[in-house]
Amino acid sequence: MRSIDSKLTLKERKILTYLLSEYKQYHHFPDIEEIKRALKLNYDEQLEEKLVLQFVKRGFPQVGMTPSQEKVFDYIVEQYSKYDIINTFNEIGKELNISPQDLEEIITKLEKRRVIHRKKDVDDKIVPRISKIGYEHKVILKDGRTLKPIEAACVIDALGLPFTYNQDATILSKDPITKQEIKIEIKDEQIALQQPKNLITYLGSQCSTTLFFISNESLKEWEKQHPDQKGTTINMKQALILARKIFEKRLDIDCVPSCEISIDQDQKNIEWLEIPSTDNKDKCCE
């Protein structure tokens, strides 16, 4: 399997290594001038855009955005995920008080990042390229960083981010039915604490329906309320193994794409490559 950045030049790999390291350690994406000073290399906007896409491919769509780009992107995502609204170009400009010229530049940049899609043939609507975020799952790393919910749009994301950043972490969530608080602590790459104890991981047909439940009763009630959803359950040990397989080393230079969950909407059960057994971590993506 090829790494995400296998086609980059030696110079580009050197710069990307530095960018990944800075983001992994400090949650900071160095700008063009910082790169020039640190590495004493020619670095321009065109190359920056190319390397930003490396982060997008790794699942970090907001890396390197300007404040104005992030403002527009966050608004589009919030409207879509929380309120089921897809805004038009003019609506976004009016709501955020951005001129058509400035918004055109921002939308063009976001399209290049492949984080939005502009449907010019349908009232010029702007759609984010994400699953709807139905429930937030907060991840707090050992160094105190609280990762934005968009980086943990599902429970597998949340369980996987401690492996991405190589840190212990606390995950805070809620049961979607009872609203009971859920707390999970990851220490030394293992689950050190889970409250309540009998948590269930439900793998739904999209990110927003991959959830934690505190009991089978709660899950059954959720399924009753969402009869169109198809899913399956795994235990927490299996969920952690899966999360590690998908998210480990995402901020390393030689990140290799992990196995993907393959979902057949027409079947009652979700089928994927393989759910690894709890005593064998290496058979997910052979």
DSSP letters of 187-231? ETTEEEEEESTT-EEEE-SSGGG-EEESSHHHHHHHHHH-TT---
CA distances from 179 to 89, 182, 213, 214, 251 (A): 36, 9, 10, 10, 33
Residue-wise pLDDT tens digits, 157-199: 999 999 999 999 999 999 999 999 999 999 999 999 999 999 9
**CATH number for the domain that contains residue 203:** 3.30.450.410
Domain span including residue 92 = 67-128
Whether residue 87 is found in the same domain as residue 105: yes
Residue-wise pLDDT tens digits, 101-126: 999 999 999 998 888 999 887 789 99
Whether residue 212 is found in the same domain as residue 117: no
pLDDT band at 258 (very low <50, low <70, confident <90, very high): low
| Total of domains in the chain | 3
pLDDT band at 135 (very low <50, low <70, confident <90, very high): low
Task: Please report the pLDDT score of residue 263 as a whole number.
Answer: 33
Pick the more confident residue, 268 or 67. 67
